[in-house]
Amino acid sequence: MSKETPCVAVCMIDPRTKLCFGCGRTLPEIARWHAMESAERLAVMALLPARMTEAGLASIAPSPKRT
């Protein structure tokens, strides 16, 4: 994963908030993530912790990598 992504490879959308349980992004944000400029991605990422807290969601930790 790039440093400019909040993705933790837990892609599940909360039906109540419409936010990803893993990263806090919305489906439209996820869909256009790679088309966003770096500054826009960083701006969205700055909002995610507060967004998750306000929604009452705790980020799901990524699954450990298998070797």
The predicted-structure confidence for 29-48, as pLDDT tens digits, reads as follows 999 999 999 999 999 999 99
Judge whether residue 61 has pLDDT over 80: no
Q: Has residue 8 been placed in a domain?
A: no
Q: Has residue 9 been placed in a domain?
A: no
pLDDT band at 10 (very low <50, low <70, confident <90, very high): confident
The structure's pTM equals 0.81
Say how many domains are in the chain: 1
Q: Which residue range forms the structural domain that includes residue 24?
A: 20-57
Q: Has residue 42 been placed in a domain?
A: yes
Q: Has residue 12 been placed in a domain?
A: no
What is d(CA 34, CA 32) in angstroms, rounded to the nearest whole number? 6
For residue 10, which of 25, 24, 22, 27 has the smallest C-alpha distance? 22
DSSP one-letter string for 53-66: HHHT-PPPPPPPPP
